Amino acid sequence: MTGLGHIAHKAHLPCLTRFKDIDLYCCDAWQEPREHAMAEWGIPADHMYSSQTEMIEKVKPDGIYVLIPQYSKFRLNTSSPYEDYVNEVLEAGIPLFVEKPLGVDAVQARRITEKAKSCRVKTTMVGCQRRFHPSLRHAMKLTFENGLLLSANFCFFKGLEADNGDERSIIAHNWLTFDLIHVLDLAVWVPGGNLIGLASAVHKAPDKDSKTCFDALLTFDNNISSHFIGNVRVGGRMLRFELHGSGLSIYISTVAPGGHDMTAWIYRIDPNMKNGHGFLSAPEVVSVRDIAPAPIEQAWAGFWDQACHFIEKAKNGEPTDTSFESALRTIEVCDRIIANG
């Protein structure tokens, strides 16, 4: 793992340090993050490096997480070393995981994707962890077993204060690509077809210059449509997914704003039509805690299964479900939505 910042501690180390079948080595240019990781997660000092180049040469890893921010968080309008780290891993022919987004825009994401192809690295992955969310995977399984998916809705709301620190660093870019993208990604990925239509609206908050509200309707060549709504200026953090299929509607939502504890309400058509609205009045209720692979928040949010997927594909030299090519598709949609606004 290269980069021991916030996302490493929040999402990845809680999973990887619990796996018994991997040997974890870490790298960070700064001493304080290295010491923090050793104290917090019990990583041995001889598994810690200050240079990715040295780590690659000495460890010869089977896969690398590069968790370097894609843009400078400290100085606006300056470049990040992110792509340099990515290129070094690809040129060494090592399976590579990067956090979302793959690039600051489709131009950079396409350049990285082509670099992976030219280096013949088959296993690439972008951290679109919502695709591995246990509740969503369960809902997709039920929907496709029951028949066809007809439409889907994905919403992500956040109540960030106007002087939030993230905004001061993200304002040179945009909230959609650098934050809301992991839910937009579901609207692009879940339908499964080729995107043939996109209508969108983008708005600014009354008190800010940055665009904070995004609304998009996507249509696909398999007669499925999906709707995405994202807003970072509302009352609180809330996730909501909806899948509607043949005689089946599934609503997945956070139980309380701010958390990853989500519940699915599964409504099925009433074969006896006793309910005037056509559906059984009592839904099946499934908590993500009951179906997640581990009793930690990272498993509820999809990070656990995402890590298992990357490790398996890296071992076998196979493409992942969230390959660079797949992630590029979502960033291209981001760019189109931003351009429309």
pLDDT tens sequence for the chain (341 residues): 999 999 999 999 999 999 999 999 999 999 999 999 999 999 999 999 999 999 999 999 999 999 999 886 655 556 789 999 999 999 999 999 999 999 999 999 999 999 999 999 999 999 999 999 999 999 999 999 888 899 999 999 987 665 555 555 566 668 899 899 999 999 999 999 999 999 999 988 776 667 889 999 999 999 999 999 999 888 888 999 999 998 899 999 997 766 778 999 999 887 666 655 666 678 999 999 999 999 999 999 999 999 999 999 999 999 999 999 999 999 999 999 988 86
Question: Any idea how long the chain is?
Answer: 341
Q: Is 248 helix (H, G, I), strand (E, B) or coil?
A: strand
pTM: 0.92
Q: Is 91 helix (H, G, I), strand (E, B) or coil?
A: helix
What pLDDT score was predicted for residue 277? 61
Please name which of 297, 295, 244, 234 lies closest in space to residue 267, comparing C-alpha atoms.
244
Burial class (CB in 10 A: 0-12, 13-18, 19+), 195: middle
Superfamily of domain 134-296: Dihydrodipicolinate Reductase; domain 2 (3.30.360.10)
Please name which of 106, 66, 79 lies closest in space to residue 310, comparing C-alpha atoms.
66
Burial class (CB in 10 A: 0-12, 13-18, 19+), 166: middle
What pLDDT score was predicted for residue 79? 75
Task: Give the number of other CB atoms < 10 A from CB of residue 218.
Answer: 24
- Residue ranges per domain, the chain? 6-129, 134-296
The CA radius of gyration of the chain, in Å to the nearest whole number, is: 21
Q: Where do runs of H (alpha helix) occur along the chain?
A: 6-7, 13-16, 31-41, 52-59, 82-91, 106-118, 134-146, 165-170, 175, 181-189, 288-291, 297-301, 303-316, 324-340
**Cβ-contact 326, 131 below 8 angstroms:** no
* Cα-based distances in Å from 5 to 51, 99, 172: 15, 12, 21
Q: Is 92 helix (H, G, I), strand (E, B) or coil?
A: coil
Tokens read off for 267: 């409504």
Please name which of 326, 280, 322 lies closest in space to residue 302, comparing C-alpha atoms.
322
**CA torsion, ordered 25, 27, 31, 33, to nearest 10 deg:** -80
**Cβ-contact 222, 245 below 8 angstroms:** no
Query: What is the CA angle 256-190-128, rounded to 5?
Result: 65
Tokens read off for 63: 């896969």
The dihedral through the CA atoms of 55, 57, 58, 63 has a sign that is positive
Amino acid present at 338: I
The fold of the 6-129 domain, in CATH, is Rossmann fold (3.40.50)
